[in-house]
Amino acid sequence: MRCEHFDQGECASCSWIARPYAEQLAAKNSQLHSLLDSYRPREWREPVASPEAGFRNKAKMAALGTADAPLLGIVNHRGDAIGLCDCPLYPEDMQALLRRIQHWIKQAGLPPYRIDKRQGELKFVLLTRSQASGEYMLRFVLRSEVMLSRIKDHLPRLLDEHPNIRVASANIQPVHMAVIEGEREIFLTENTRLAEKLNGVPLFMRPKSFFQTNTAVAEKLYAAAREWVADFKPSTAWDLFCGVGGFGLHCATADTALTGIEIEPEAIACAQMSAAALSLRHVSFAALDATLFAAREDAAPDLLIVNPPRRGLGDALCKQIATAAPKHIFYSSCNPETLVRDLAQLKGYTLDRVQLFDMFPHTAHYEVLVKLSR
C-alpha cells in the first residue's frame, strides 16, 4: 500500500508500509515462532490477515494550526504539523467526515491548543466508527469549558449534515501533559453509547471503554475464541481485562456462569447492556482490579480468559493464576514478549494452540491468541 505522507517523510507511524503485505505477515509469524517454538505448541493455526487499508475504526487527531486554519493530525518527529484526514488507514467515509469536522472547527471558531504557548482550547478530536451501522462517536477534548457554549451552538449544524454521528461529547483535560483524556465527560447528545455487532453479538462503546481498533480482525479473533471453547464447553469462566465483554460474551452459552472483570466502569456498563440484550442469565460484570479479584476468589473456573494491556499479566497475577489452576486459559496478547514472560510463570500447562491476528498492519505489532490446558 502507498501513502503519500510516508513517501514524503511526513509520517512514520506505519514503519513497515513500504514492505509488501505478505512479507509483513510472514515476518510477524516468523518472530512468533521464534518466541513460542520452545513451548512446543500442539497446533499452529494460519495467521489471520487484515485489510491493507480502511481498517481502523478510531481516529485520534491532535488539533493543530489556528482557529482560522485548523488542522487535524499529528506533530511529527521534526516538529511539523501534519494533517491526516486523508490517512488511508481510515475508511473513505471516515476520511470525509474528518475533513468536514476540520472545516467545522473553523466555522465554530475553536482555537486549537498550543503546547508551546499553553494557549487555546481544543486539544484533540476523537472519532470512532461502528462497522455494523456506519455510525460515529465524536469527542472533543478541551482544556476547559470556555468553548463549550460555542460547540453547543454550532454542533446542530454538523449533526444535521451528518445524522450518523450518534454520540457527541466534550472531554475536559486541563492538565498540560501528554495525556489525551481527562476525567470529566460532558455528553452533547441524548445517545451516550455507540452500538456495534460482531458475529451476531451486540457490543457497545462509551467514550472511555476500550475496543479493538481493527474491527474486521477483532471479529475473527472473537470468532476463533468461540470456536476453540466449543471443544470443551466450560460451565464456569472468568474474563479478566474484559473491556466491553467481547471475549466472554462470544464464549458464554446460556448455561455458562461467566464473570467479567474490568477496571473501567464505562466498559462494564457496556458489557452489562450486551449481556442483557443476549438474555444471558448467569453472567455478571464488575469494575474491579483483575489482580485483586483473582486474589479473593477460592474456586478456579473451567476457563480463564485474559486480554491484558501491553505490560502483560504481571508477576502477582501470574502466581495467583498458577495457584488457582484453571483447567484452560485463553490468553490474547498484543505484546508477544510479555506473553512469553507470563507463560514462563504459568507452570503445569501445555500450549495447545497458537494463532496470530494481524490487528496492526504496516507495523511490527500484532495480536496473538493462545490456548493453554493443564
SS (H, E, C) 311-339: CCCCHHHHHHHHHHCCCEEEEEECCHHHH
Torsion of CA 54, 60, 64, 67, to 10 degrees: 90
Instruction: For cell 494550526, name the residue.
Output: 65
Instruction: For cell 495525556, name the residue.
Output: 179
Cα–Cα distance list, 282 to 59, 248, 272 (Å): 36, 12, 12
Closest to 35 measured CA to CA, from 368, 332, 329, 314 = 368
Residue 138 in contact with residue 188, Cβ under 8 Å? no
Q: What are phi and psi of 321, to 5 degrees?
A: -65, -45
Spot the catalytic one: 11, 85, 318, 334: 334
122-129 and 43-44: which strand pairing? unpaired
Q: What are phi and psi of 237, to 5 degrees?
A: -150, 145
Catalytic status, residue 318: no
HSE-CB at 86 with a 13 A cutoff on CA atoms is 7
Amino acid at 259: T
122-129 and 58-65: which strand pairing? antiparallel
Instruction: Please work out, in degrees rounded to the nearest 5, the angle formed at the alpha carbon of residue 108 by the alpha carbons of 107 and 112.
Output: 105
Rounded distance, CA 125 to CA 102, Å?
Answer: 9
Give the residue numbers annotated as catalytic, written as ranges: 334
